[in-house]
Amino acid sequence: MPELPEVETVRRGLDRILVGKQILSVDVLNDKTLQFAHTDLNTFVIGAKVVAVRRRAKMLIIDLDSDYSLLVHLKMTGQMVWRGAESWAAGHPNDSMVGDLPDRTTRIIFNFDDGQLFFNDQRKFGWIRLYPTNTLSDTPELAKLGPEPLTSDPTISFLRRIRRHPRTSIKAAILNQQVIVGVGNIYADESLWLAKVHPQTRVEGLSDDELLHLLECIQKSLQAGLNSGGSTMRNYVRVDGTRGNYLDKFAHVYGREGEPCDRCGHEIIKIKVAGRGTHICPNCQKLR
DNA sequence: CTAGGATCCTGTCAGC
DNA sequence: TGCTGACAGGATCCTA
């Protein structure tokens, strides 16, 4: 799914398009996606205007002038698509970004007077919840999260939090949102390659300096993803109309098994770590 | 605390 | 062609 760079790309688009607009109605095409009392739609959502669109970890926060906020998680296959005078899409890249909507992946539709916002999610893991804006930071979803890697200084918090898991693999540790937020399977692999750390290395086997260097590599990888525009309609459809892969713009190892390492030329291999497909250069990333 | 597996879903792809 | 199993950018829950 969308990791931090993709969710932040969604956030920027929604903030630009939605702020100041009023939600006229909501169509619920999949009951389980909207995870709050549906009667609350009438009380706190319909008729409200969007005040701001924020992000925490991999979640979107749509603040409404009812003093309630929609909390959105795209999980593996969630995407947001705006259709109005302008057409815009970001999140999980697939044909729903460019085809007629609603389609079979559409779960929720927010209707505005000048357009529609589609929440599409093929696998139905994604969800939308509703909380009073001033209670958000105390919710189970947000309360225990680790620091943001690209805003504020995460170093002290990161070190303290990752040291709580001395015997876990470094890959599992950086995927843990209570240690550092925003890292998913792609950016975990990219960061570990950049830092030349084998994903199965135990946390206790790395010094503070090595962990902080890895943190810098996490920040660099996430920033590279963000700079390439996350996964948006623009980079999903190439100029010639064919389908593109935004990973090509920055990925060194993810999805590149069998290809040569950009640094040493050794063949990239795919293994399994922490239950996830994991891409490494076995020459650059040796298990000590 | 930790590893591993199952789970929530739908779709695609490789191999037979 | 059809079938089967593995796998997919997330996260939680359970067992051992």
pLDDT in tens, A38-95: 999 999 999 999 999 999 999 999 999 999 999 999 999 999 999 999 999 999 999 9
Amino acid A260: pLDDT:
96
Reply yes or no on whether the pLDDT at A230 is more than 80: no
Mean pLDDT of chain A: 95
Q: Among this protein's residues, is A171 annotated catalytic? A: no
Per-residue pLDDT reduced to its tens digit, A247-260 = 878 899 999 999 99
Where helices occur in A86-195 by DSSP H, the ranges are 155-162, 170-175, 185-195
State how far the Cα of A12 lies from the Cα of A3, in Å rounded to an integer.
14
Q: Which of residues 157-196 of A touch strand C (CB under 7 A)?
A: 175, 177, 184-186
- Give distance CA A271 / C1' C6 (Å): 14
State how far the Cα of A285 lies from the Cα of A275, in Å rounded to an integer.
19
- Give distance CA A62 / C1' B2 (Å): 36
Nucleotides of chain B touched by protein CB (<7 A): 1-6, 8-11
Q: Among this protein's residues, is A3 annotated catalytic? A: yes
Taking C1' of B3 and every protein CA, the nearest residue is A274
Q: Among this protein's residues, is A2 annotated catalytic? A: yes
Amino acid A228: pLDDT:
86
A231 sits within 7 Å of strand C by its CB: yes
State how far the Cα of A251 lies from the Cα of A268, in Å rounded to an integer.
12
Amino acid A233: pLDDT:
85
Per-residue pLDDT reduced to its tens digit, A105-129 = 999 999 999 999 999 999 999 999 9
To the question of pTM greater than 0.95 for the whole model, the response is yes
- pLDDT band at residue A146 under the 50/70/90 scheme: very high
Reply yes or no on whether the pLDDT at A1 is more than 70: no
Amino acid A250: pLDDT:
87
Placement of tokens 């390492």 in the chain:
A261
Domains of chain A plus CATH, in order, are 4-138 (3.20.190.10), 155-280 (1.10.8.50)
State how far the Cα of A253 lies from the Cα of A158, in Å rounded to an integer.
24
Identify whether the C-beta of residue A226 lies closer than 8 Å to the C-beta of residue A7: no
Dihedral sign for Cα A136, A142, A144, A147, please. Answer: negative
